Structure 1
Amino acid sequence: MQGFIKYQLKSYIRSFKIIPPAATFFIWIVILYHYSGVEILSSYAVTSIALYLVTTWISMNLFSMEEEAEKNILFVQVGKVRYSLGKWIIGMLIAMVFMLFAILYPLLLDSFKEAVQPIHLGLSIFIHLLLAAFGILVGSFSSISSFIPKRYTWLSAVLVIAVTLSYDGLVEKLSLLKWLLIVLPPVVNVINFFVMDDLKHFGKEFWIMSSFAILYSTIAFYVLMKLFIKKESYE
């Protein structure tokens, strides 16, 4: 497994496919912190959304690296479960590097208008990791789902991202969507706690929503694994 992850990571980096999402993310962060005196939590909420977008992008790249013949060889060598797990681990490792840059860059520039406390760092790490997991889920779903034609994979990913980020507005216009959209990652539900940049909002309701988000991610990864195995068994 470790050898597979190293091989895949090197292959992805050498393919230069990492450059567009990495450049997009780093430029986003530099522009965001061009001015000093910004809010702490709301700024980290913005960078976590950026991580959500580029991690979706990276995840889709990872699952499209191999041709069918090469993929089948890897299935024989490592198995379908380890194949998909390896892709997810690589996606999360890359996301963690991006996360460190997003968190440390404004600290080095002293961009925030108030002193950063340990709880700020803890919350920022949590929201970045959570949205990175959501990005991997969206990218994986669009790439490995058998009912999404290959030519529509990017379109489906963009659609899911757009819906998850505009959840509040959609539900406000049509309340029925609240129950229909429960199958999508609860991105805005968690992000909303960070927008007001006040630690008083991080009480019981936040931890309930965070627990739901973690449970959602766990179940979603399990379902995606089953879908992936089923799809590859028929091809």
Structure 2
Amino acid sequence: MGALIRYHFITYIKSYRYIPPLALYIISLCMNYTYRPNPVLDSFFNTALFLFFLTTWFTMSLFHAEDSSQEVITKLHVGKKNKYFISKLISCMLLFTFLSAVSIAYPVLLDMFEVDISTKQMVFGFIIHWTFSLLGMSIGLVFTRDVVREGSLSWFGPLFILIVTLAAAGVSFPYQGGGLLLYVLPPVSAIIQFINEGLNKFLVFGWALLYAIALISLYLWRANRRDV
């Protein structure tokens, strides 16, 4: 599995598909901390939302780093399609885990906050970034070519969901006027509100985890049903 993950990263680097989302990530991180001092929690929410959006992009670009013909050859070489797909999932998770850590380390090392940040706050900030990234990855997965073959839908779909989700981040929970639609979106709004109001953090993070697991399971089920 380790060799396969390394192969995915090498292929991704050689494809140069990572450059646009990585450049946008660096720009957004630097712009968020242009001035000092900054409030801790609000700053973390801002960079976590950036990462939520960009992780979807990273995921789709990593999963499409190989062209279709090379992907078929790799699957045949691996032998088990599920192993191939899971290795890509792990590669994505390693990538956004690293970016989540950078999102915390950058402002801490440059002393960008208005107060001294504690270890507990750093860990909590990392969890927020990691959770938002996991949600972003799960959205990207269900619009990869392993699931969606229609080219226009593969980009319009996640873009629409991301925009609506970010817009819904300003809607109070429980959602009013949005009906079922807001409940099927990634629970970004609920996470922000639960944390700001000091409500049950374990409940909302559990909700996010179950949401991501459901989409990842849908992806694996659909991808494994595809032809080699």
TM-score normalised by length of structure 2: 0.90
Q: Answer yes or no: is the 8 Å Cα contact 2:148–2:154 preserved in 1.
A: no
Q: SS of the counterpart of 2:117? A: coil
- One-letter amino acid matched to 2:214: I
Aligned to 2:4: 4
Q: SS of the counterpart of 1:142? A: coil
Runs of 4+ in structure 1 over 6 Å off? none
| 2:86 is the alignment partner of 1:85 | yes
Unaligned runs of 5+ residues in structure 2 are none
Distance 1:58 1:77 in 2: 25
CA deviation after TM superposition for structure 1 residue 77, in Å: 2.3
Aligned to 1:208: 203
Q: SS of the counterpart of 1:110? A: coil
CA deviation after TM superposition for structure 1 residue 111, in Å: 0.9
Q: Bigger CA drift: 182-191 or 1-10? A: 182-191
Unaligned runs of 5+ residues in structure 1 are none
Choose between structure 1 and 2: higher helix proportion: 1
Identity of aligned residues (%): 27
> Cα gap change, 1:31/1:96 in structure 2, threshold over 3 Å: closer, same or farther?
same
Distance 1:93 1:14 in 2: 18
Q: SS of the counterpart of 2:143? A: helix
TM-score normalised by length of structure 1: 0.87
Distance 1:31 1:89 in 2: 29
Distance 1:212 1:88 in 2: 20
Distance 1:153 1:171 in 2: 30
CA deviation after TM superposition for structure 1 residue 219, in Å: 2.2
Q: Answer yes or no: is the 8 Å Cα contact 2:135–2:208 preserved in 1.
A: no
Aligned to 2:220: 225
Aligned to 1:95: 96
- One-letter amino acid matched to 2:205: S
Aligned residue runs from structure 1 range 89-128, under 5 A? 89-128=90-129
Q: Answer yes or no: is the 8 Å Cα contact 1:144–1:227 preserved in 2.
A: no
- One-letter amino acid matched to 2:95: I
Distance 1:3 1:167 in 2: 41
